[in-house]
Structure 1
Amino acid sequence: MIYRSKAPLRLGLAGGGTDVSPYSDLFGGAILNATISLYARASIELLADNKVIFESADKKESYTYDAVYPLPMDGQLDILKGVVNRVVKDYGALPSGFKLTTYVDAPSGSGLGTSSTLVVAVLGAFAEWRKLPLGEYDMAHLAYSIEREDLQQAGGKQDQYAATFGGVNFMEFYKGDKVIVNPLRIRDIYLHELENNLVLFYTSTSRLSSSIISEQQKNVNDKKEGSIEAMHQLKEQAIMMKEALLRGTIDQIGEILDYGFKFKKQMAQGISNSQLDEIYDAAKQAGASGGKISGAGGGGFMIFYCPRNTRFQVVEALNKFGGDVKRYHFTNNGIQTWSI
């Protein structure tokens, strides 16, 4: 038997960073995101011997271990071993050795939630194999716990819930790791227009999001008013984005993105830089009405809202920077699992 899963990556449209503790614990956070047709995929093949093989097909890495748990955290695909160790800890010993193969449709550090989505995908494959009793909230919270507590990786909460639930969601974050996912019923015509006008551009750079997020957390702990006020405004941006999507005032989205980007850069150092600012300015000069850096910032993907038919001029302007415009579609489904 082979047990498979796929979980969608996401575009964070508004409110990014307000899902990170301690801000969400103190003030409550809000984010609007949408999943897209780029995925993290996982497959488990059972082995006759007592070995565990990890193969990251996109990174072209493969490692073999004896099936003795917990598996060692030695810097080799630790995110995969972290999931396995937690599954064994919470749900008992695995009945055989196995090979876990993963593939992610976007590079790590690109700002689309790749690491968290990969954790969800791997959990999904194990849930399919071991018939684990995990609902959507259970799986998302377990993925979050593995990353933030077991692996001690700094970050927020939105990615795990986006990958698990799928679709367009307005998410609320509170103290005690309380998360409320509000799926939005948006008319197809509005989503078609948003998809047509929103350009996804990979800058061909990546970044370590944890360092940016750690500074963001420090700024809140140190009560830096400028950073905290910026997060307040980003939370308000999420509400503005929700209203625009539900009411169909789609061409306001560029201005809402532009509004948020100005405040996003005030949250922490390194969210933008001269190269990213140059790309942003070039897109706006070519006709984009606004945009943002995806994820924590510092590199990776950027998105630009291009009203009417300006996307073609914007794409031409972006091509001069040597990156890659990525085609995508919005998706309704979150984690999906199956076996063959």
Structure 2
Amino acid sequence: MIITRSPLRISLGGGGTDLPSYYRDHTGFLVAAAIDRHVHIVINRTILPEMILKYSQTERVTDVGAIQHPLVREAMRLVGIPADGLEIAAMADIPAGTGLGSSGSFCTALLRGLHALRNGNPSAAELAEQACHIEIDRLREPVGKQDQFIAAVGGVTCFRFHPDGHVEYWPLRASSDTLRRLERNLVLYFTGYTRSASEVLREQDTKTKAADQSMIDNLHFIKDLGLKSKEALEGGDLRAFAELMNVHWRSKKKRSGNMSNSRIDEWYDLGLKHGGLGGKLIGAGGGGFLMFYTEDAEQLTDTMTEAGLQQVPFRFDFEGTRIVSGATPSPALRPAVRRAA
């Protein structure tokens, strides 16, 4: 039996510029952080002449092509695993559709386990690229490369997405004290709304491909905010970072009328009035988690809890996608950091 896990993530600035429709012409940049809320994959060899797949549904198949779950089907095809004598189960700390990058985490965790079945040992970058290939190239989903890479690499990490598809990444150069304060003062509240990220991102993707100038200008501005967020974090100015979160959210809402709703806007305003110095909705938009930066977490949490939102505590995850049982991770399983030139 092999058990793998991948961290979920929060975006700290520049989100949305990781889609191919943008970075192929303009180069993308963002900062993201992996958190200690995970997707777990369990893979077990059995004596049955079929494959049993358990997630929110249960499937029993004898042929890979018959698998209904698209990520599982394409991952098994990519690695070359037959659909017999195998049981795969997926579990997550946070449900899908909540803006924390669950599909990217699912895919990297699954690929790590499938490669382990064949004694394969891809690097973190190779694992992320394979997950991107499945979602973007094979399944034609209008998603970016952020989720797969931050899941595989872990940490608080800067990413640059080059026009040729190459992804450059390096750890945010912030002090240990800044990272501790950032981790302590960022808080997540679940709005109760779930949505498909691809549905929300499709409008952005379509407009960008059509060279819609207002969309492209918006993404240019978001990328600039990502770079400014990096500078604020590396300079230890967390209040400046908090204000950039507010600017980011106001700009992000201009991309689509489906980005927010009246309830989310009310909760956002409420949070800023009761201890939040900055805030935004995590992920593609339309639901999921509100994230605030605060220096008075107790007041903010009391207010948001009274308003009906659930807080989800977290810490940063610096391990990335890994095997937790069933194989001995070698040094090559650890994220290989690519530093900027």
- Look up the SS of the partner of 2:302 in the other structure: helix
Matched, 1:333 2:319: yes
Q: Which residue of 2 aligns with 1:180?
A: 168
What TM-score do the two structures reach when normalised by structure 1? 0.92
Q: Distance in 2 between matches of 1:181 and 1:15?
A: 14
Q: Distance in 1 between matches of 2:285 and 2:205?
A: 15
Question: Which aligned pairs between 1:171-250 and structure 2 lie closer than 5 A?
Answer: 171-250=159-238
In 2, are the aligned partners of 1:228 and 1:267 still within 8 Å (CA)? no
In 1, are the aligned partners of 2:132 and 2:148 still within 8 Å (CA)? yes
- Look up the SS of the partner of 1:149 in the other structure: helix
Deviation per CA, 1:304-335: give whole Å up to 9, x if none: 0113xx22221122113322100110111111
What TM-score do the two structures reach when normalised by structure 2? 0.91
Q: Distance in 2 between matches of 1:21 and 1:269?
A: 22
Deviation per CA, 1:171-218: give whole Å up to 9, x if none: 011223221112224322111111111111111110111122110012
In 2, are the aligned partners of 1:201 and 1:301 still within 8 Å (CA)? yes
Q: Which residue of 1 aligns with 2:310?
A: 324
Q: Which residue of 1 aligns with 2:7?
A: 8
- Please list every run of 5 or more consecutive structure 1 residues that lacks an aligned counterpart in the other structure: none
- Please list every run of 5 or more consecutive structure 2 residues that lacks an aligned counterpart in the other structure: 328-341
Deviation per CA, 1:134-190: give whole Å up to 9, x if none: 111111010011112222222111000000000011101122322111222432211
Q: Distance in 1 between matches of 2:315 and 2:155?
A: 11
Q: Which residue of 2 aligns with 1:65?
A: 61
Q: Distance in 1 between matches of 2:165 and 2:8?
A: 22
Q: Distance in 2 between matches of 1:78 and 1:142?
A: 14
In 1, are the aligned partners of 2:76 and 2:82 still within 8 Å (CA)? no
Instruction: Please give the root-mean-square deviation of Cα atoms over the aligned residues, in Å.
Output: 1.6
Q: 1:261 aligns with which of 231, 244, 249?
A: 249
Deviation per CA, 1:249-276: give whole Å up to 9, x if none: 1222210101111111122231111111
Amino acid at match of 1:71: G
Q: Which residue of 1 aligns with 2:339?
A: none
Q: Which residue of 2 aligns with 1:285?
A: 273
Amino acid at match of 1:305: Y
Q: Which residue of 2 aligns with 1:87?
A: 79
Q: Distance in 2 between matches of 1:194 and 1:133?
A: 33
Q: Distance in 1 between matches of 2:9 and 2:106?
A: 12
Q: How many residues end up aligned between the 2 structures?
A: 326
- Percent identity for Structure 1 against Structure 2: 29
Q: Say if 1:111 and 1:95 are closer, same or farther in 2 by CA, change over 3 A.
A: closer
Question: Which aligned pairs between 1:45-194 and structure 2 lie closer than 5 A?
Answer: 45-56=44-55, 59=56, 61-66=57-62, 68=63, 70-74=64-68, 77-88=69-80, 93-94=81-82, 97-194=85-182
In 1, are the aligned partners of 2:10 and 2:35 still within 8 Å (CA)? yes
Shift of 1:132: 1.9
